[in-house]
Amino acid sequence: MTRPDPSNAFGAWAYQPPQPLPGAAGGPLSDLTFNVKDLYGVEGWPLRASTQASLPPVVPSPLVTRLLELGATLTGKTHLHEIALGITGANPVTPGRNPLDPARVPGGSSSGAAITVARAEVDFALGTDTGGSIRVPAAWCGVVGFKPTKDHPAWPTTGLLPLSQTCDHPGPLTRGVAMAARLHAALGGETVVARSWNGLRVGLWRPEAWLQPEALAALDGARETAEGLGATFKEVLLPDMLDAYSPIVQSEAAILHAAALGDSPTGFSAGTEALLRLGAARPHEEVRAARARRDGYRARLEDLFTQFDVLLAPAVPGVAPLSGQEELALPEGQLNSTRTPLRVAVLRLTVPFSLLGVPVVSLPCPAGALSVGLQLVGTWNTDAELLGLALSLEAALS
SS (H, E, C) the chain: CCCCCCCCCCCCEEECCCCCECCCCCCCCCCCEEEEECCECCCCCCCCCCCCCCCCCCCCCHHHHHHHHCCCEEEEEECCCHHHCCCCCCCCCCCCCECCECCECCCCCCHHHHHHHHCCCCCEEEEEECCCCCHHHHHHHCCEEEECCCCCCCCCCCCECCCCCCCCEEEEEECCHHHHHHHHHHHHCCCCCCCCCCCCEEEEECCHHHCCHHHHHHHHHHHHHHHHCCCEEEEECCCCCHHHHHHHHHHHHHHHCHHHHCCCCCCCCHHHHHHHHHHHHCCHHHHHHHHHHHHHHHHHHHHHHHHCCEEEEECCCCCCCECCCCEEEECCCCCCCEEEEHHHHHHHHHHHHHHCCCCEEEEEEEECCEEEEEEEECCCCCHHHHHHHHHHHHHHHC
Residues 212 and 345 in one domain: yes
Give the pLDDT confidence of 37-54 residue by residue, as tens digits.
Answer: 999 999 999 999 999 999
Residues 142 and 169 in one domain: yes
Compute CA distances 21 → 29, 43, 113, 126, whole Å: 14, 11, 17, 15
- Could you list the residue range(s) of the whole structural domain that residue 320 is in? 201-243+283-397
Measured on CA atoms in the order 178, 116, 318, 299, is the torsion positive or negative? positive
240 HSE (CA, 13 A, CB side): 12
Question: What integer pLDDT is reported at residue 332 of this predicted model?
Answer: 77
Residues 288 and 378 in one domain: yes
Residues 177 and 31 in one domain: yes
Residues 183 and 211 in one domain: no
Question: What integer pLDDT is reported at residue 36 of this predicted model?
Answer: 99
Domain final residue, candidates 188, 213, 229: 188
* Within-domain flag for 336: yes
Residues 183 and 151 in one domain: yes
Assess contact for 111 and 68: CB atoms under 8 A. Answer: no
Q: pTM for this one?
A: 0.96
Residues 229 and 332 in one domain: yes
Residues 182 and 211 in one domain: no
What b-and-e string marks burial along 152-168, b requiring 16 or more CB atoms within 10 Å of the CB? bebbebebbbbbbebbb
Residues contacting residue 336 through CB under 8 Å, at least 6 positions apart: none
* Within-domain flag for 256: no
Residues 20 and 165 in one domain: yes
Question: What integer pLDDT is reported at residue 346 of this predicted model?
Answer: 98
Residues 225 and 348 in one domain: yes
Question: What integer pLDDT is reported at residue 273 of this predicted model?
Answer: 98
Residues 218 and 332 in one domain: yes
Question: What integer pLDDT is reported at residue 336 of this predicted model?
Answer: 57
Positions in the chain whose pLDDT score sits under 50: 334
Question: What integer pLDDT is reported at residue 369 of this predicted model?
Answer: 98
* Within-domain flag for 259: no
Total domains, the chain: 2
Question: What integer pLDDT is reported at residue 4 of this predicted model?
Answer: 61
